[in-house]
Homo-oligomer: A and B are copies of this chain.
Amino acid sequence: MNNYKVGEIAKIVGVNVETLRYYERIKIMPKPKRLPSGYRYYNDDDLRRLLFIKRAKELGFTLKEINELLNLRIESTSTCGDVKHIAEHKLLDIEEKIRDLKRIRKVLLRLISQCVHEEISSVECPILEIIEKRQKRSPK
């Protein structure tokens, strides 16, 4: 079981020291023990937790959701199904975002294809005209 000072653990995981203090403040990381000097020192459990947070963030989970996942992990009454529900919810979320972005991409492609005379004044730019005249989409 190793010990780490805040700067060390931050470097290993690749987060800012301030971020760690922020995580402590919002209670997503526990208050670490202190050395006689008052310095925080972390152990391997903390390291695992911090890595978990980092990876879950890369998966698009918010800090709030990550907290839920972490709590599920320590509540012995919670099941794998509980975890699965959170993941499924996130999946729907992500899929909706993908759909939205694809729709936006389609419009952008159309806009860009309209510009065949790059040198003309932006006043007559068909791109701006399309944005201006664009019909509202059907409500989502």
Contact = CB atoms under 8 A, between A and B. Distances in A.
25 contacts: A52-B128, A55-B131, A55-B132, A58-B137, A59-B131, A69-B131, A73-B123, A76-B123, A79-B119, A80-B118, A80-B119, A80-B120, A80-B124, A80-B125, A82-B122, A83-B125, A84-B112, A84-B118, A84-B127, A87-B108, A87-B115, A87-B127, A88-B112, A95-B105, A98-B101
Contacts of A126: 80
Q: Which of A59, A79, A123, A131 has the most CB of B within 10 A?
A: A131
Interface size class of A (residues with CB under 8 A): 35 or more
A5 interface: no
Nearest to A101: B98
Interface string A22-61: 0000000000000000000000000010011001101110
